[in-house]
Amino acid sequence: MFKQAVILLSVLLFACLGSVSAQVPDTTKYTGSEEIEQQIENLAERSDVEMDYSDWVEEMNLLRQRPVNLNSGDENELRRLFFLNDLQISNILEYTQQYGQLASIYELPVIEGFNEKVVSQILPFISLSPYVPEKFSLKRAFKYGGTDVMLRYQRVIQPQSGYANVSDSVRLAHPNNYYVGDQNSLFFRIQYSYKDYLKFGLVGEKDPGEPFLPKSDTLHKGFDFYSVHLFVKNIRFVKQLAIGDYHVQFGQGLTLWSGFSVGKAAGSVVMRKRAPALRAHSSSNEYAFMRGAATTIVVGKFDITAFYSNRKVDANVVPADTLEISEDMVTSLQQTGYHRTPAEIADNGANREIAEGGHIAYNGQRLRAGITTFHVEYKIPFEPEASLYKKFQPTLNSNTYLGIDYSYNYKTLTLYGEASKQIDAGIAVLQGLSYSPDPRLALAMVYRNYQKNYLNTFNAAFGESSNSTNEKGLYVGIVATPFNKITLSAYADMFKYEWLSYRVDAPSGGQEYSAQLVYNVSRRGDIILSYRNMINPMNYALATDKMNQVGESKRSYYRVQFNYQALPWLKLQSRIEITKRQAQLKDRESGYLMYQGFQVSPLNKNWSLSFRYSMFDTDSYDARLYAFEQDVPYSFSVPAFSGEGSRFYMLLNSSLTRNVSLILRFSQTWYSDRNVISSGPDEIDGNKKSDIKAVLRLSF
């Protein structure tokens, strides 16, 4: 199967290459976001649990719905294009100030730092319409604003064991083996907005397995999760106002950052985070957000932000009598947002989290600096940690943090950093540098030192681990364009843990290396060659050992990807990826993933169709591979490919009328090496798993 697939993919590849000399309008350039998708794939690979990327999906959808106006002359507006670096943003501002507003995308390559590759990436997210400054008017906002209503339905088609129709006695004997709700997932969002000035809405979601209209009076009726948000910008001296659910993001994400944050990815270098201070939370993510009120006001060159959040969070609570203590104790916080079994329902909103604080930022021409302080506490205290690797970590009961962040720009050099102190505990420090001596060259360096007694669940700083604790490391990256059609990028990240870490019973360290070459065969397509090598510590033990030893897990990834606009209405995307893994006391493992996808968007038609067919074969789950897939709005799909089989998905996007659109998605994974998929309540008796999603969208 592998040889046949390689031949098929090669034929498609070279057939497309044979016609690259044809000239087509600029509108047919490939407009992907490969680097961002690779970051999602890397995050999924590093996590042992399923993560919710709906915040990132929301951010990308907002960029498509309300593109960034490059003629605005507003640095904060341009920062919404978070994949641009400081030099590129500065050069756009300088160009529009000197030569006036941009009239055509053909002007962009004239600006230093913008080649055809960069322009093609930002094209779906920008606008060049004439910009006229406007003062916010509530009357105008309600007169000319728009309402967006979205309804989403999804489910797994095959029966899963957790939904089996069994007797009450069986459910009582094994209550957490069966879900209390049906297989359907429901989501709705109603949002009214006026440009970038006003946004308010309501979100509701029911996950698969959660009850919706249960017969039992003891179960919650309706949607399991509700979220309300009101967000206003630029009303006189009030720069931002958030009421309801929102995100708080300051500095480099070390002291305080809620929501999604990008990390390492081939094809780009780590850049300074552009913290928006406040952002509305309008996705279905049930964990990483604030609930309350927050505002940012402008006083001269200073932005002053204050926030307060008070919300219930999911937690595993052990009653007092089982621990022989006088009060209830929390063993852990739950982040999945699932409430499908009696145990998960018992965790629902079991603890209360109160967070409050603020940030003062100075905005100079070259220097920006800020001070952050916030306090967070929980109503029910946490049980002292028994795990040895958490010996030095403070409990989450009540903590106060103080942070200082800065960034300094001098011509093409940017220095930035943040230091955070957990009162009565540890310190975490991050220092970064980015330098572009030439528009064709970008360099980056990030050093971090997170002490083992620093613990902060409200951060998203750069690092190998997700919690910014017990880690010291140095990242170095480079992106160069030596020739018009060739872009080279590489990074090296070396890190160590000075104390024990999860599943590693000794101080240890690791490395990650990546290199990528992008060849733009024409305006219509590119070929991407990439290599990545990861070395991580892991426990192992011989039969004669009385305790674990620490060795290395080595993984290598080799990827070839081809993106091509074959015709004005047809885009093609192909990938072959191979992985190899070696770990102590284990046989060498390997695997491959390959896919061929296309997107049909007929000219002057109100529909488009995306299709991808994938084949995979890996020796084990440890050799799994990930691929980001297109999905319906405000949903995401980053499946893990392991075992042997194939997968395909189809995505149909159609505009039924000017104000009504329908999006349908069907995907199916077929395994040739098993007759049972998954385990526990999610187990499927068979070798196929099919998912359907449908979105109805109304705009008026």
Q: What is the pLDDT of residues 456-479, one digit of tens each?
A: 999 999 999 878 999 999 999 999
Percent of the chain's residues with pLDDT above 90: 61
Query: How many domains, in total, are found in the chain?
Result: 2
Q: Looking at the structure, do residues 117 and 242 belong to the same domain, yes or no?
A: no
Q: Looking at the structure, do residues 110 and 256 belong to the same domain, yes or no?
A: no
22 has pLDDT over 70: no
pLDDT score for 10: 45
Domain CATH code at residue 90: 1.10.150
Q: Looking at the structure, do residues 127 and 245 belong to the same domain, yes or no?
A: no
- End position of a domain, from candidates 437, 460, 483: 437
177-218 tens-digit pLDDT = 999 999 999 999 999 999 878 999 999 999 999 999 988 888
Q: Looking at the structure, do residues 309 and 430 belong to the same domain, yes or no?
A: yes
348-377 tens-digit pLDDT = 999 999 999 999 999 998 899 999 999 999
Residues 6+ apart with CB under 8 A from 514: 264, 266, 489, 490, 491, 492, 530, 531, 532, 533
Mean per-residue pLDDT, 2-9:
44
3-state secondary structure of 627: coil
Report the C-alpha gap between 581 and 607 in whole angstroms: 43
Q: Is the dihedral of CA 263, 265, 267, 269 positive or negative?
A: positive
Q: Looking at the structure, do residues 249 and 366 belong to the same domain, yes or no?
A: yes
pLDDT band at residue 33, thresholds of 50, 70 and 90?
low
pLDDT band at residue 392, thresholds of 50, 70 and 90?
very high
Neighbours of 366 (CB within 10 A): 10
> Among 118, 73, 77, which residue's Cα sits nearest to residue 234?
77
pLDDT score for 288: 84
In a domain, 412, yes or no: yes
pTM: 0.88
In a domain, 626, yes or no: no
Domain span at residue 106? 34-133
500-511 tens-digit pLDDT = 998 899 999 999
Q: Looking at the structure, do residues 128 and 243 belong to the same domain, yes or no?
A: no
Q: Looking at the structure, do residues 315 and 431 belong to the same domain, yes or no?
A: yes
In a domain, 620, yes or no: no
- End position of a domain, from candidates 387, 418, 437: 437
In a domain, 42, yes or no: yes
Percent of the chain's residues with pLDDT above 70: 92
Q: Looking at the structure, do residues 258 and 120 belong to the same domain, yes or no?
A: no
Q: Looking at the structure, do residues 121 and 243 belong to the same domain, yes or no?
A: no
In a domain, 559, yes or no: no
342 has pLDDT over 70: yes
253-304 tens-digit pLDDT = 999 999 877 778 777 788 888 888 999 998 888 988 999 999 999 999 999 9
Report the C-alpha gap between 184 and 46 in whole angstroms: 29
Q: What pairs with residue 374 in β-bridges? A: 357, 401
In a domain, 266, yes or no: yes
pLDDT score for 322: 60
Q: Looking at the structure, do residues 267 and 121 belong to the same domain, yes or no?
A: no
In a domain, 382, yes or no: yes
51-60 tens-digit pLDDT = 556 666 667 7
- End position of a domain, from candidates 402, 437, 472: 437
Window from 108-117, 394-403, 576-585 with minimum mean pLDDT: 108-117
More confident position, 670 or 197 = 670
Q: What is the pLDDT of the chain when averaged over all its residues?
A: 88
Burial level of 130, CB count in 10 A (0-12/13-18/19+)? exposed
Q: Looking at the structure, do residues 129 and 260 belong to the same domain, yes or no?
A: no
In a domain, 52, yes or no: yes
Window from 123-132, 169-178, 552-561 with minimum mean pLDDT: 123-132
Residues 6+ apart with CB under 8 A from 322: none
DSSP 158-217: S--GGG----HHHHHHSGGGS-SS-S-EEEEEEEEEETTTEEEEEEEEE-TTS-SS-SST
388 has pLDDT over 60: yes
Contact 427, 443 (CB under 8 A): no
pLDDT band at residue 235, thresholds of 50, 70 and 90?
confident
